[in-house]
Structure 1
Amino acid sequence: MRELLALPALADGVPEVLVGGEALDARVRWAHVSDSAGVARLLDGGELLLTTGSGWPTEPEELDAFIGGLVDAGLAGLVLELGVHYRYVPAVVAEAAERRGLALVALHREVKFVALTEAVHGRIISAQTAALVARDEVRERFTGLALRGSPADFIVRQLAATLGSGVVLENLAHEVVSAEVPPSEEEPLLRQWEARSRRAHRGDAEGWLIVPVEARGLRWGHLVALPGPEHPAGRSAVLEQGATALAFGRLADAGGDEWARIGRQRLVDALLEGRFAALPNAAARLEAAGLPIAHGVQFGVVASGAEISGERADAAARALGGRALAGALAEGQAPASVLLVSLPEATRFAVDETGVLAFARSLVEEPAARERLVLSVGQAAHGLAELLASVQQARDLARVPVARGARGPVVRRADDRPLVRLVTSLRDDHRLQEHGERMLAPLIEYDLARGGDLLDVLAAMLAHPGNRTAAASASHLSRSVFYQRIALIAELLDADLDDGETLTALHLALLVRRSGSR
């Protein structure tokens, strides 16, 4: 109704809106011209009635009932032309329309109803044609995404751009798989997402539009669109096209849980790369994805030496009463994964090695892979800021070589490596970086110029202090060649490699260099 008031054919009648507000938001399906008192029985709903009122009842009670009958028939709006039969709109008509929320407009100048109906129908048909064109465009776009195998997060991003509002993809457990929302809305929206989503599914939708993602009788989740502007194709139609594209992609996964794996992996990767607007936003995303941050204790973990799936890591954490998310491969160590683990405060993982070893053994099934597994665990954290520091400790610790021949699962904790913790806490201090460069510059230049391995040899020697045989084995060198390398390192650095302070300084410099190699 609101749009039709702007039509020139209606404006020529000098319209006066007597009942407007929300009533003007009614959708007009068609225009109908009639002065009959029995017109209500001829209506199907959604019509705009154009009339002079010449055949209306004369008694106030009958007029009130007449307006009630129009509303019951689903009339979208009433336009009464004054001058032919009525010089003004009867008060009972205005009051009845106001009471029942029926849009009422009076025309103070005579107009040709045929021209007015033609204009209204033209506007309606034009809108319907635009909707058909828009639906074809949307269908073509999202069908293309499905055929190209676009990932779920990209489809969600395209939906948000198309609808001009935030869009969330959740699984059946009401955990967020992917979300595309403005940064300012992210934290308040995703905080306690599961509870809000469950309420919305029960009918308290907060203005949300919810569409299931399903195919072949299987439902995998839901798409949720936040309130936003109207779309020519219809917001529901757009969201349904996105759901179809996601369903095609899910069927192509042959039943695999690629949604959760890729969505969570990209969430962890974005977090570690600093691609988030603020800590509360990132914490809300992690919570919405199923990782408790507001309570319990968290650990940053790097699992290297064996491939670890996100599902396996989460299952291992669930066995301890917690949850885990897995990121992509870490720093060129193949295979290696960064894990974010959240556990109850009282779990053994947080207090002794038995719990960590149980977790490590649960990560892999094959005995051979289990023997190769190395788990580097950061300090216990409470909240996202501490968790990020714990992750960095684990990543720094993962760069420290493991003794050759060690059979896993090998567990190393930052709590047991105070120097690694110190480097992590001071990693951005330019004085520490300058120290690393100054100490190691001759070795770095030598290795770069000759493709040497002096830094690796030095790392092996520092990892096995007092045991040159083990250090040579870790370097994959014979003892004689290893001693030659050590002598060359001592010569290039002009340093006594038997001096404890020198070794400590070199160890610190090497940790600084490797912590900066992301």
Structure 2
Amino acid sequence: MFLSVAEVVDTPAMRRGEPEIVVGGAALDAAVRWVHVSDSPGVARLLDGGELLLTTGAGWPDDPRQLREFASRLSGVGIAGIVLELGARQPTVPDAVVDVCAREGIALVALTREVKFVAVTEAVHHALIAAQTAALRERQHLHELFTALSLQGAPADVIVAETARAIDAPVLLENLAGELIAAEYRGEPVPRVLAQRATAERVPVAARGSRWGTLLALPGPESAAGRLTALEQGATALAFGCIADGGDAEWSLLAQRTVIDDLLGARFVDAGDIDARLRAGGFELRGRRCHGMVARGTGSIGELAYRARQAGFAVVAARAGEDDVTLLSAPPSIELDDATALRIAGADRAVFLGPPADDVLGLLASLRAARDLADSDRADEGARVRRVGDRPLERLVATLRDDHRLHEHSQRMLAPLVRYDAERRGDLLDVLGALLAHPGNRSAAASASHLSRSVFYQRLALIGDLLEADLDDGETLAALHLALLARRRLTS
């Protein structure tokens, strides 16, 4: 709602006096609350702070000691700055005033030409009133925005993003344990933003005597409504959300889902960013044994995370379609054996484990491999654990999943079947998958395809004819298995 001294000096009315900065620097950023015109040496008793004093110095004392006392009194009341119009009474700025202003950090400006002080005051007061009006409008807009978000039940990450947009600076949400729940980085490097958490401006997320967390804001430009106002509005909306949801239990799930979505999705662009976000949530990779895990079947993601922590693992987990997708981190002394994996996932669930990792890229590969393994296994066999490390072709495809040669191999081998299924709504790819899943037992393969044995054999004969391949040849089956696995990865 205020102008800085620099902005006042840059107004047309002031520029007509050809101003010269005598004491500037950071002092020019001081906020001007009002403009006061006076030549009286006792003017300090009439000021409340934040005023810009316009004067000709006609009533100033001549004695340097008295001038220092006069300037010190102005500093004591918190004056924003002094603008001295030079003339016959004060042809130069007194050294005593310059010394005090330089020492106290008070802006001091000399006007070398005569100006109408009334024109300056009118211009500045008009600008201040306009700024106050704009601030009131912006505060009303923020109030309406965050009230609407509260009434709509907007999730915490949306409220955080809107708060960051309102102040044009990164904003973070922490729970009471200091764990990062949501963040909007505004294009700033994630590690640098997270490193500044300790020095950020902080507003509690609290209401009705309960506190759930803290909203943090990094430095940024002043907004018309004021940074603090925007932060308080955002914190209030977050608090109302906690009241409506019965607590902050959803926050942790939100934080973990966001990390997993970004790790697997298009927003994953920098390993350092993901690493910083994981560490901010208490998930360490360095010196730890980490795995990507997929759990299939009925179960609670919250209970899974609780059991993982009870077993000594740091955990990030989210629901993805039919599955719980999980990142696990433990010290080398804790082994993720089959019994532990099933205990974490829950009873009667299928568990798919990626290979161990100790960095972000390795963890991403582990999670992708676990998901690929889960996608290739749709059998409902109850509680069991399957590991990518026990499936050599799965491991090879996971390693080469981004190699264009693998995809070219898949397209070349399976093109006739893909074309046949597309043109006739066929099921040849599914039949081939069943055969490869049960290479030594075609009765089991037919059952998995939900086809009679005679129809299943007819489908196999058609596949062999279309591919011009011998489906009893081990090398051919291996090549087809590799092609089918690669296709599933490409289309998953």
- What is the TM-score when the length of structure 1 is the normalising length? 0.86
Q: Is it true that 1:418 corresponds to 2:410 in the alignment? A: no
Q: Tell me which moved more, 251-260 or 468-477.
A: 468-477
Residues 1:429 and 1:120: Cα distance change in structure 2 (over 3 Å): closer
Residues 1:89 and 1:403: Cα distance change in structure 2 (over 3 Å): closer
Contact 1:131 1:233 in 2 (8 A): yes
Q: Shift of residue 43 of structure 1?
A: 1.9
Contact 1:376 1:397 in 2 (8 A): yes
Q: Shift of residue 388 of structure 1?
A: 1.5
Contact 2:345 2:351 in 1 (8 A): no
CA distance in 1, matches of 2:283, 2:24: 49
Contact 1:43 1:73 in 2 (8 A): yes
Residues 1:401 and 1:26: Cα distance change in structure 2 (over 3 Å): closer
CA distance in 2, matches of 1:52, 1:501: 99
Contact 1:170 1:176 in 2 (8 A): yes
Q: Shift of residue 386 of structure 1?
A: 1.2
Q: Tell me which moved more, 81-90 or 374-383.
A: 81-90
Contact 1:80 1:106 in 2 (8 A): yes
Q: Shift of residue 360 of structure 1?
A: 2.5
Q: Shift of residue 73 of structure 1?
A: 1.2
Q: Tell me which moved more, 462-471 or 278-287.
A: 462-471
- Output aligned runs, 1:181-196, within 5 Å: 181-183=185-187, 185-190=189-194, 193=195, 196=196
2:351 match: 375
CA distance in 2, matches of 1:11, 1:438: 76
Choose from 39, 50, 53 the match for 1:46.
50
Q: Shift of residue 491 of structure 1?
A: 5.3
Contact 1:183 1:277 in 2 (8 A): no
Q: Is it true that 1:140 corresponds to 2:144 in the alignment? A: yes
Contact 1:34 1:49 in 2 (8 A): yes
Q: Secondary structure at the match of 1:2?
A: helix
Q: Tell me which moved more, 29-38 or 377-386.
A: 29-38
CA distance in 1, matches of 2:428, 2:414: 10
CA distance in 2, matches of 1:421, 1:253: 42
CA distance in 1, matches of 2:429, 2:115: 92
CA distance in 2, matches of 1:276, 1:426: 19
CA distance in 2, matches of 1:230, 1:272: 36
Choose from 93, 98, 109 the match for 2:97.
93
- Output aligned runs, 1:295-444, within 5 Å: 295-309=287-301, 311-329=302-320, 334-349=321-336, 353=337, 356-364=338-346, 370-371=347-348, 373-401=349-377, 406-408=381-383, 410-444=384-418
Q: Shift of residue 420 of structure 1?
A: 0.7
Residues 1:69 and 1:480: Cα distance change in structure 2 (over 3 Å): same
CA distance in 2, matches of 1:111, 1:431: 78
Q: Secondary structure at the match of 1:212?
A: strand
1:122 match: 126
Residues 1:415 and 1:102: Cα distance change in structure 2 (over 3 Å): same
- Output aligned runs, 1:21-36, within 5 Å: 21-36=25-40
Q: Shift of residue 184 of structure 1?
A: 5.3
Contact 1:18 1:94 in 2 (8 A): yes
Q: Secondary structure at the match of 2:293?
A: strand
Contact 1:142 1:242 in 2 (8 A): yes
Q: Deviations over 1:243-262 (max 9, x none)?
A: 22323333332325223322
Contact 2:23 2:109 in 1 (8 A): yes
Q: Shift of residue 487 of structure 1?
A: 5.1
Contact 2:253 2:318 in 1 (8 A): no
Q: Shift of residue 477 of structure 1?
A: 4.5
CA distance in 2, matches of 1:61, 1:378: 80
CA distance in 1, matches of 2:250, 2:327: 19
Residues 1:162 and 1:318: Cα distance change in structure 2 (over 3 Å): same
Q: Secondary structure at the match of 1:40?
A: helix
Q: Deviations over 1:181-240 (max 9, x none)?
A: 2555223333xx4xx53xx2xxxx2xx322222222222222222222221111222222
Choose from 259, 280, 295 the match for 1:267.
259
Q: Which letter does structure 2 place at the counterpart of 1:512?
A: A
CA distance in 1, matches of 2:18, 2:473: 99
CA distance in 2, matches of 1:251, 1:445: 55
CA distance in 2, matches of 1:450, 1:78: 87
Contact 1:300 1:388 in 2 (8 A): yes
Q: What are the ranges of 5 or more consecutive residues in structure 1 without an aligned counterpart?
A: 365-369
CA distance in 1, matches of 2:315, 2:456: 42
Q: Shift of residue 346 of structure 1?
A: 2.1
Q: Which letter does structure 2 place at the counterpart of 1:475?
A: S
Instruction: Report sequence identity in percent.
Output: 53
2:224 match: 232
CA distance in 1, matches of 2:117, 2:422: 88
CA distance in 2, matches of 1:391, 1:430: 21
Residues 1:484 and 1:94: Cα distance change in structure 2 (over 3 Å): same
Q: Secondary structure at the match of 1:338?
A: strand
- Output aligned runs, 1:249-288, within 5 Å: 249-288=241-280
Q: Deviations over 1:125-173 (max 9, x none)?
A: 2221221122222222333333333333233333333322222222222
1:515 match: 489
CA distance in 1, matches of 2:104, 2:98: 10
CA distance in 1, matches of 2:120, 2:378: 85
CA distance in 2, matches of 1:399, 1:514: 8
Q: Which letter does structure 1 place at the counterpart of 2:310?
A: A
Q: Which letter does structure 1 place at the counterpart of 2:479?
A: A
Contact 2:355 2:389 in 1 (8 A): yes
CA distance in 2, matches of 1:140, 1:286: 34
CA distance in 2, matches of 1:260, 1:489: 49
Q: Which letter does structure 2 place at the counterpart of 1:363?
A: A
Choose from 431, 454, 459 the match for 2:433.
459
Q: How many residues align?
A: 488
Q: Deviations over 1:34-57 (max 9, x none)?
A: 333332222211122233334334
- What is the TM-score when the length of structure 2 is the normalising length? 0.90
CA distance in 1, matches of 2:480, 2:92: 97
Residues 1:83 and 1:389: Cα distance change in structure 2 (over 3 Å): same
Residues 1:13 and 1:304: Cα distance change in structure 2 (over 3 Å): same
Contact 2:23 2:107 in 1 (8 A): yes
Residues 1:138 and 1:402: Cα distance change in structure 2 (over 3 Å): closer
Q: Secondary structure at the match of 1:3?
A: helix
Q: Which letter does structure 1 place at the counterpart of 2:344?
A: S
Q: Shift of residue 379 of structure 1?
A: 0.7
Q: Shift of residue 315 of structure 1?
A: 2.2
CA distance in 1, matches of 2:303, 2:398: 28
Q: Which letter does structure 1 place at the counterpart of 2:335?
A: R
Q: Deviations over 1:244-288 (max 9, x none)?
A: 232333333232522332232132112212423322222222222
Contact 1:293 1:383 in 2 (8 A): yes
Q: Secondary structure at the match of 1:460?
A: helix
2:117 match: 113
Residues 1:326 and 1:38: Cα distance change in structure 2 (over 3 Å): same
CA distance in 1, matches of 2:123, 2:455: 94
